[in-house]
Structure 1
Protein backbone atom coordinates (compact mmCIF):
# COMPACT_ATOMS: atom_id res chain seq x y z
CA UNK A 1 0.00 0.00 0.00
CA UNK A 2 3.06 2.27 -0.06
CA UNK A 3 2.21 3.30 -3.62
CA UNK A 4 -1.38 4.14 -2.71
CA UNK A 5 -0.20 6.32 0.18
CA UNK A 6 2.20 8.05 -2.22
CA UNK A 7 -0.68 8.78 -4.63
CA UNK A 8 -2.74 10.47 -1.91
CA UNK A 9 0.26 12.38 -0.57
CA UNK A 10 0.96 13.71 -4.08
CA UNK A 11 -2.71 14.65 -4.57
CA UNK A 12 -2.78 16.39 -1.19
CA UNK A 13 0.17 18.58 -2.21
CA UNK A 14 -0.96 19.13 -5.83
CA UNK A 15 -4.73 19.42 -5.58
CA UNK A 16 -5.45 21.15 -8.88
CA UNK A 17 -5.59 19.02 -11.99
CA UNK A 18 -7.47 18.56 -15.24
CA UNK A 19 -10.38 16.13 -15.56
CA UNK A 20 -11.09 14.50 -18.91
CA UNK A 21 -14.51 13.14 -19.83
CA UNK A 22 -16.03 11.84 -23.03
CA UNK A 23 -18.97 13.08 -25.02
CA UNK A 24 -20.13 12.24 -28.56
CA UNK A 25 -18.01 15.03 -30.09
CA UNK A 26 -14.87 13.77 -28.34
CA UNK A 27 -12.85 14.37 -25.20
CA UNK A 28 -13.55 17.31 -22.85
CA UNK A 29 -11.00 18.58 -20.33
CA UNK A 30 -11.49 21.10 -17.54
CA UNK A 31 -9.72 22.17 -14.33
CA UNK A 32 -10.75 20.20 -11.27
CA UNK A 33 -9.73 20.04 -7.62
CA UNK A 34 -9.02 16.89 -5.62
CA UNK A 35 -10.74 17.12 -2.24
CA UNK A 36 -9.43 14.21 -0.14
CA UNK A 37 -9.12 10.44 0.07
CA UNK A 38 -12.44 8.81 0.89
CA UNK A 39 -12.86 5.09 1.36
CA UNK A 40 -9.57 4.47 -0.44
CA UNK A 41 -10.69 6.52 -3.43
CA UNK A 42 -10.00 10.07 -4.68
CA UNK A 43 -12.97 12.34 -3.93
CA UNK A 44 -14.19 15.29 -6.02
CA UNK A 45 -17.22 17.55 -6.17
CA UNK A 46 -19.20 19.46 -8.79
CA UNK A 47 -22.61 20.99 -9.44
CA UNK A 48 -25.34 18.93 -11.07
CA UNK A 49 -26.22 21.59 -13.65
CA UNK A 50 -22.74 21.41 -15.25
CA UNK A 51 -21.89 19.50 -18.42
CA UNK A 52 -19.29 17.49 -16.50
CA UNK A 53 -22.00 16.06 -14.23
CA UNK A 54 -24.09 14.99 -17.22
CA UNK A 55 -21.06 13.57 -19.02
CA UNK A 56 -20.03 11.51 -15.97
CA UNK A 57 -23.60 10.25 -15.57
CA UNK A 58 -23.65 9.12 -19.20
CA UNK A 59 -20.14 7.65 -19.17
CA UNK A 60 -18.47 7.49 -15.74
CA UNK A 61 -15.02 6.63 -17.14
CA UNK A 62 -12.65 9.55 -16.67
CA UNK A 63 -9.06 10.55 -15.97
CA UNK A 64 -7.57 13.41 -13.96
CA UNK A 65 -3.99 14.64 -14.50
CA UNK A 66 -1.99 16.47 -11.82
CA UNK A 67 1.54 17.94 -11.93
CA UNK A 68 4.14 18.87 -9.38
CA UNK A 69 4.81 22.64 -9.16
CA UNK A 70 7.94 22.32 -11.33
CA UNK A 71 6.12 20.01 -13.80
CA UNK A 72 8.79 17.34 -13.32
CA UNK A 73 6.29 14.73 -12.09
CA UNK A 74 2.86 14.00 -13.50
CA UNK A 75 0.23 11.84 -11.86
CA UNK A 76 -2.73 10.61 -13.89
CA UNK A 77 -5.60 8.90 -12.08
CA UNK A 78 -8.10 6.97 -14.16
CA UNK A 79 -11.29 5.45 -12.79
CA UNK A 80 -15.06 5.36 -12.75
CA UNK A 81 -16.96 8.30 -11.24
CA UNK A 82 -19.52 7.15 -8.68
CA UNK A 83 -21.87 9.81 -7.31
CA UNK A 84 -23.39 9.33 -3.85
CA UNK A 85 -25.23 11.47 -1.25
CA UNK A 86 -22.06 12.11 0.81
CA UNK A 87 -23.42 14.45 3.51
CA UNK A 88 -20.35 13.87 5.71
CA UNK A 89 -18.00 14.44 2.79
CA UNK A 90 -19.85 17.58 1.69
CA UNK A 91 -19.62 18.97 5.22
CA UNK A 92 -15.87 18.40 5.30
CA UNK A 93 -15.40 19.93 1.83
CA UNK A 94 -17.24 23.08 2.89
CA UNK A 95 -15.31 23.33 6.16
CA UNK A 96 -11.97 23.06 4.33
CA UNK A 97 -12.77 25.25 1.29
CA UNK A 98 -14.14 28.75 1.91
CA UNK A 99 -14.66 29.38 -1.80
CA UNK A 100 -16.78 26.24 -2.13
CA UNK A 101 -18.68 27.17 1.05
CA UNK A 102 -19.44 30.51 -0.57
CA UNK A 103 -20.57 28.73 -3.74
CA UNK A 104 -22.70 25.94 -2.22
CA UNK A 105 -23.55 27.32 1.24
CA UNK A 106 -24.50 24.06 2.92
CA UNK A 107 -24.19 20.29 2.41
CA UNK A 108 -27.89 20.02 1.61
CA UNK A 109 -27.70 22.37 -1.38
CA UNK A 110 -29.59 20.51 -4.12
CA UNK A 111 -26.96 21.26 -6.80
CA UNK A 112 -23.93 20.11 -4.72
CA UNK A 113 -22.68 16.66 -5.78
CA UNK A 114 -19.75 14.51 -4.68
CA UNK A 115 -18.15 11.57 -6.43
CA UNK A 116 -15.36 9.10 -5.87
CA UNK A 117 -13.15 7.58 -8.51
CA UNK A 118 -13.66 3.88 -8.01
CA UNK A 119 -11.82 1.04 -9.76
CA UNK A 120 -8.97 3.51 -10.13
CA UNK A 121 -5.38 3.22 -11.13
CA UNK A 122 -2.70 5.89 -11.04
CA UNK A 123 0.33 6.47 -13.24
CA UNK A 124 3.31 8.48 -12.10
CA UNK A 125 5.56 9.84 -14.85
CA UNK A 126 8.72 11.91 -14.51
CA UNK A 127 11.12 13.74 -16.85
CA UNK A 128 13.45 10.75 -16.92
CA UNK A 129 10.69 8.92 -18.78
CA UNK A 130 9.96 6.58 -15.91
CA UNK A 131 6.36 5.47 -15.58
CA UNK A 132 5.04 3.66 -12.52
CA UNK A 133 1.52 2.27 -12.16
CA UNK A 134 -0.21 2.15 -8.78
CA UNK A 135 -3.40 0.21 -8.09
CA UNK A 136 -5.17 -0.07 -4.73
Structure 2
Protein backbone atom coordinates (compact mmCIF):
# COMPACT_ATOMS: atom_id res chain seq x y z
CA UNK A 1 0.00 0.00 0.00
CA UNK A 2 1.38 3.39 -0.98
CA UNK A 3 1.56 6.26 1.50
CA UNK A 4 -1.30 8.11 -0.19
CA UNK A 5 -3.44 4.95 -0.10
CA UNK A 6 -2.63 4.51 3.59
CA UNK A 7 -3.75 8.08 4.27
CA UNK A 8 -6.98 7.62 2.28
CA UNK A 9 -7.72 4.30 4.01
CA UNK A 10 -7.48 5.97 7.42
CA UNK A 11 -9.92 8.67 6.29
CA UNK A 12 -12.28 6.06 4.83
CA UNK A 13 -12.12 3.89 7.96
CA UNK A 14 -12.77 6.93 10.17
CA UNK A 15 -15.87 7.68 8.08
CA UNK A 16 -16.00 11.34 9.05
CA UNK A 17 -13.13 13.79 9.19
CA UNK A 18 -13.09 17.48 10.01
CA UNK A 19 -11.86 20.10 7.55
CA UNK A 20 -10.57 23.42 8.90
CA UNK A 21 -10.48 26.56 6.78
CA UNK A 22 -10.17 30.26 7.57
CA UNK A 23 -12.73 33.00 6.96
CA UNK A 24 -11.04 36.33 7.59
CA UNK A 25 -9.38 35.72 10.94
CA UNK A 26 -11.96 33.15 12.12
CA UNK A 27 -11.25 29.41 11.86
CA UNK A 28 -14.10 27.32 10.42
CA UNK A 29 -14.38 23.57 10.96
CA UNK A 30 -16.95 21.20 9.50
CA UNK A 31 -17.43 17.45 8.98
CA UNK A 32 -16.60 15.87 5.63
CA UNK A 33 -16.61 12.32 4.32
CA UNK A 34 -15.48 12.45 0.70
CA UNK A 35 -12.12 10.93 -0.19
CA UNK A 36 -10.64 9.67 -3.44
CA UNK A 37 -7.17 8.71 -4.61
CA UNK A 38 -6.67 9.25 -8.32
CA UNK A 39 -3.40 9.46 -10.22
CA UNK A 40 -1.47 9.55 -6.93
CA UNK A 41 -3.40 12.54 -5.57
CA UNK A 42 -5.71 12.78 -2.56
CA UNK A 43 -9.05 14.38 -3.49
CA UNK A 44 -12.00 15.70 -1.54
CA UNK A 45 -15.26 17.13 -2.90
CA UNK A 46 -17.69 19.90 -2.01
CA UNK A 47 -20.20 22.20 -3.69
CA UNK A 48 -19.01 25.42 -5.34
CA UNK A 49 -21.83 27.45 -3.77
CA UNK A 50 -20.92 26.44 -0.20
CA UNK A 51 -19.09 28.77 2.17
CA UNK A 52 -16.27 26.23 2.49
CA UNK A 53 -15.56 26.56 -1.26
CA UNK A 54 -15.42 30.34 -0.95
CA UNK A 55 -13.07 30.07 2.02
CA UNK A 56 -10.75 27.70 0.12
CA UNK A 57 -10.76 30.06 -2.88
CA UNK A 58 -9.62 32.88 -0.55
CA UNK A 59 -7.04 30.76 1.31
CA UNK A 60 -6.30 27.29 -0.03
CA UNK A 61 -4.29 26.24 3.06
CA UNK A 62 -6.42 23.82 5.06
CA UNK A 63 -6.10 21.12 7.67
CA UNK A 64 -7.99 17.87 8.17
CA UNK A 65 -8.29 15.87 11.36
CA UNK A 66 -9.71 12.34 11.56
CA UNK A 67 -9.94 10.00 14.55
CA UNK A 68 -10.23 6.22 14.60
CA UNK A 69 -9.98 4.26 17.81
CA UNK A 70 -7.09 5.69 19.79
CA UNK A 71 -5.37 7.13 16.72
CA UNK A 72 -5.76 10.33 14.78
CA UNK A 73 -4.53 11.72 11.48
CA UNK A 74 -3.88 15.37 10.71
CA UNK A 75 -3.37 16.46 7.12
CA UNK A 76 -2.29 19.95 6.11
CA UNK A 77 -1.63 21.36 2.68
CA UNK A 78 -3.01 23.47 -0.12
CA UNK A 79 -6.19 22.46 -1.94
CA UNK A 80 -6.21 22.89 -5.73
CA UNK A 81 -9.18 22.61 -8.09
CA UNK A 82 -9.38 19.77 -10.59
CA UNK A 83 -12.77 19.74 -12.21
CA UNK A 84 -12.09 17.23 -14.96
CA UNK A 85 -15.15 15.14 -15.70
CA UNK A 86 -13.32 11.83 -15.15
CA UNK A 87 -12.36 12.88 -11.61
CA UNK A 88 -15.98 13.77 -10.86
CA UNK A 89 -17.14 10.44 -12.29
CA UNK A 90 -14.61 8.57 -10.15
CA UNK A 91 -15.82 10.34 -6.98
CA UNK A 92 -19.48 9.70 -7.80
CA UNK A 93 -18.76 6.02 -8.50
CA UNK A 94 -16.91 5.69 -5.21
CA UNK A 95 -19.52 7.62 -3.22
CA UNK A 96 -22.86 7.01 -4.99
CA UNK A 97 -24.88 8.88 -2.34
CA UNK A 98 -23.47 12.09 -3.87
CA UNK A 99 -25.41 11.37 -7.08
CA UNK A 100 -28.54 12.72 -5.37
CA UNK A 101 -26.86 16.15 -5.25
CA UNK A 102 -24.32 16.20 -8.10
CA UNK A 103 -23.61 14.88 -11.58
CA UNK A 104 -20.29 14.82 -13.48
CA UNK A 105 -21.65 17.49 -15.81
CA UNK A 106 -22.84 19.66 -12.94
CA UNK A 107 -20.94 22.92 -12.58
CA UNK A 108 -21.69 23.02 -8.85
CA UNK A 109 -19.51 19.98 -8.05
CA UNK A 110 -16.04 21.05 -6.89
CA UNK A 111 -13.16 18.57 -6.83
CA UNK A 112 -10.07 19.50 -4.83
CA UNK A 113 -6.73 17.73 -4.39
CA UNK A 114 -3.92 18.28 -1.93
CA UNK A 115 -0.72 19.95 -3.06
CA UNK A 116 2.34 19.94 -0.77
CA UNK A 117 0.46 17.73 1.67
CA UNK A 118 1.78 16.56 5.00
CA UNK A 119 0.02 13.82 6.97
CA UNK A 120 0.83 13.03 10.60
CA UNK A 121 -0.38 9.80 12.19
CA UNK A 122 -0.55 10.10 15.99
CA UNK A 123 -1.71 8.25 19.09
CA UNK A 124 -1.21 8.50 22.81
CA UNK A 125 1.00 5.40 22.79
CA UNK A 126 3.22 5.85 19.71
CA UNK A 127 5.51 8.56 18.42
CA UNK A 128 3.99 10.65 15.58
CA UNK A 129 4.74 9.56 12.03
CA UNK A 130 4.76 12.25 9.32
CA UNK A 131 4.47 11.59 5.60
CA UNK A 132 4.78 14.16 2.82
CA UNK A 133 2.79 13.75 -0.38
Find the counterpart in structure 1 of residue 63 from structure 2. 63
Aligned residues: CA RMSD: 1.8
Task: State the Cα distance separating 1:3 from its structure 2 match.
Answer: 4.3
Find the counterpart in structure 1 of residue 111 from structure 2. 114
Q: Provide runs of 4+ in structure 1 moved above 6 Å.
A: none
The residue correspondences of 1:1-136 to structure 2 (distance < 5 A) are 3-68=3-68, 70=69, 72-104=70-102, 106-128=103-125, 130-136=127-133
Task: State the Cα distance separating 1:95 from its structure 2 match.
Answer: 1.9
User: Aligned partners of 1:16 and 1:48: how far apart in 2?
Assistant: 20
User: Aligned partners of 2:39 and 2:4: how far apart in 1?
Assistant: 12
Spell out, residue by residue over 1:3-55, the C-alpha distance to the aligned partner (whole angstroms, 9 max, x if none). Answer: 44432332332242000001114100000123211232220111111000000
**Structure 1 residues 86 and 119, CA gap change in structure 2 (3 angstroms):** same
Task: State the Cα distance separating 1:96 from its structure 2 match.
Answer: 2.4
**Structure 2 portions without partners, runs of 5+:** none
Contact 1:12/1:36 (<8 A) preserved? no
* Number of positions where the alignment pairs a residue of Structure 1 with one of Structure 2: 133
